[in-house]
């Protein structure tokens, strides 16, 4: 599917061309040497284009906040815009930024075709580029900052397997709802979770059920898809959902069938809704990707490039379409269950306790010792 989708995109530059553009970062197109105004009349700055606010709440809330804070701390001007899921708008934003004086461009693409179009324009003006969270296939970005996405999928599979084993489910039928086929990360997640799941299918411990992609990570599409899956395979007893938004859509369908909490569901992103579903027992795990860490690493690269310095990145990732190698800052994901939910809430405060522990979730936070609701010895005795 990915190759068919991207076949119409021109083949990007190989690693050597990528590094050549990076080596030219001291001459960033229209930007003047004093990092002030540009010959085009715009202010020199770092440009950031984010994809949407629907596929994950992080894009509307967390990434802009952490990126801005990192650039403010470095006293480097930044312009952050969101394409709101519109590929044409994504390209328009990119062209506007490129023509108005950005010295460095960071993009989290909607798909590789529109992402590549923006990267090509930046390269033509010798503006260094950073792929953020999602690798743009054939894009030839100078750098890539993301998490180990195969590992993310791996954690999801092992999390689902453990949940099923804990429940003592015999030969469960597993449904897979993958992310958007236009997102390279979704393919990497799938590669990661299919290795452990295929072992279970091959040994006849699990039965492979329906397996579909969810266009644009859209929860409404996920709802429609899973309703059809459950009609076709009513004995589904495990769901590998690619992120928390898809997982929440699955759980809402399961509630109608009174199967919520019976059928383990995975997720990813450690969103507020994902953690709420962990508390109710309707979602068995999520994967925490520390967005602040990702934003800080991307900003650190961009700041160096903005100052005409060359960042030192030793790791690389191979672009599966072009065969080129992109310098890659790889960050570790973490599986989250009720046992370590406080990593997200109390330690990193990624989801504030005040947002999670209210309404019907307040008692659940107390029960599970979330945040400041530390379990006492009396609580432990009562639960034995």
The predicted-structure confidence for 112-133, as pLDDT tens digits, reads as follows 999 999 999 999 999 999 999 9
Mean pLDDT of the chain: 89
Of 214, 197, 194, the closest CA to residue 205 belongs to 197
Give residue for tokens 């005040």.
Answer: 354
* 316 has a pLDDT exceeding 90: yes
The predicted-structure confidence for 232-268, as pLDDT tens digits, reads as follows 999 999 999 999 999 999 999 999 999 999 999 999 9
The pLDDT value recorded for residue 375 is 60
Can you read off the two tokens belonging to residue 269? Answer: 């992103």
Question: Are the C-beta atoms of 223 and 252 separated by less than 8 Å?
Answer: yes
Fold of 2-147+290-331: Rossmann fold (3.40.50)
Rounded Cα gap, residues 124 and 21, in angstroms: 9
The pLDDT value recorded for residue 9 is 36
Rounded Cα gap, residues 69 and 82, in angstroms: 17
Inter-helix orientation angle 184-202/149-167, to 10°: 40
Mean pLDDT, to the nearest integer, of 40-47? 77
Of the pLDDT bands very low, low, confident and very high (cuts 50, 70, 90), residue 55 is: confident
The pLDDT value recorded for residue 29 is 35
**Domain ranges within the chain, ordered by starting residue:** 2-147+290-331, 149-289+335-370
Those residues whose C-beta lies under 8 Å from the C-beta of residue 198, and which sit 6 or more positions away, are none
CATH code matching the domain that covers 149-289+335-370, chosen among 3.10.450.50, 3.40.50.2300, 3.90.1150.10, 3.40.47.10: 3.40.50.2300
The predicted-structure confidence for 98-114, as pLDDT tens digits, reads as follows 999 999 999 999 999 99
The pLDDT value recorded for residue 19 is 34
The predicted-structure confidence for 62-80, as pLDDT tens digits, reads as follows 999 999 999 999 999 999 9
* 379 has a pLDDT exceeding 60: no
CB atoms within 10 A of CB 7: 9
Query: What's the farthest any 2 CA atoms get from each other in the chain?
Result: 72
Rounded Cα gap, residues 206 and 200, in angstroms: 5
Question: Are the C-beta atoms of 174 and 209 separated by less than 8 Å?
Answer: yes
């Amino acid at each position: 599917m990915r190759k068919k989708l991207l076949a119409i995109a021109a083949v990007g530059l190989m690693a050597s061309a990528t590094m050549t553009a990076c080596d030219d970062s001291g001459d960033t197109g229209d930007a003047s040497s004093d990092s002030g105004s540009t010959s085009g009349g715009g202010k020199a700055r770092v440009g950031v284009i984010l994809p949407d606010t629907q596929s994950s709440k992080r894009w509307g809330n967390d990434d802009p906040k952490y990126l801005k804070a990192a650039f403010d701390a470095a006293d480097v001007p930044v312009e952050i815009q969101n394409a709101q899921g519109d590929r044409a708008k994504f390209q328009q934003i990119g062209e506007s930024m490129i023509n108005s004086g950005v010295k460095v461009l960071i993009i989290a693409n909607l798909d590789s075709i529109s992402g590549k179009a923006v990267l090509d324009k930046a390269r033509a003006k010798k503006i260094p580029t950073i792929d953020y969270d999602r690798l743009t296939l054939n894009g030839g970005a100078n750098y890539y900052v993301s998490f180990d996405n195969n590992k993310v999928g791996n954690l999801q599979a092992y999390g689902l397997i453990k949940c099923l084993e804990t429940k003592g489910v015999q030969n469960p039928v597993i449904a897979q709802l993958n992310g958007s086929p236009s997102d390279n990360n979704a393919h990497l997640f799938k590669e990661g979770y299919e290795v452990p799941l295929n072992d279970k299918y091959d040994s006849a411990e699990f039965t492979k059920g329906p397996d579909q992609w969810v266009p644009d990570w859209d929860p409404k599409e996920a709802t429609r898809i899973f309703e059809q899956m459950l009609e076709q395979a009513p004995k589904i007893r495990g769901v590998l959902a690619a992120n928390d938004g898809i997982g929440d859509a699955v759980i809402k369908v399961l509630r109608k069938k009174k199967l919520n909490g019976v059928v383990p569901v995975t997720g990813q992103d450690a969103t507020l809704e994902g953690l709420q579903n962990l508390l109710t027992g309707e979602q068995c795990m999520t994967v925490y990707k520390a967005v602040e860490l990702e934003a800080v690493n991307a900003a650190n690269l961009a700041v160096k490039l903005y100052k005409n310095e060359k960042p030192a990145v030793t790791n690389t990732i191979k672009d599966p379409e072009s065969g080129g190698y992109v310098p890659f800052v790889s960050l570790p994901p973490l599986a989250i269950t009720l046992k370590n939910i406080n990593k997200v809430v109390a330690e990193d405060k990624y989801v504030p306790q005040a947002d999670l522990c209210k309404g019907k979730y307040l008692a659940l936070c107390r029960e599970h010792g979330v945040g400041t609701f530390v379990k006492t010895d009396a609580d432990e005795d009562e639960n034995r």
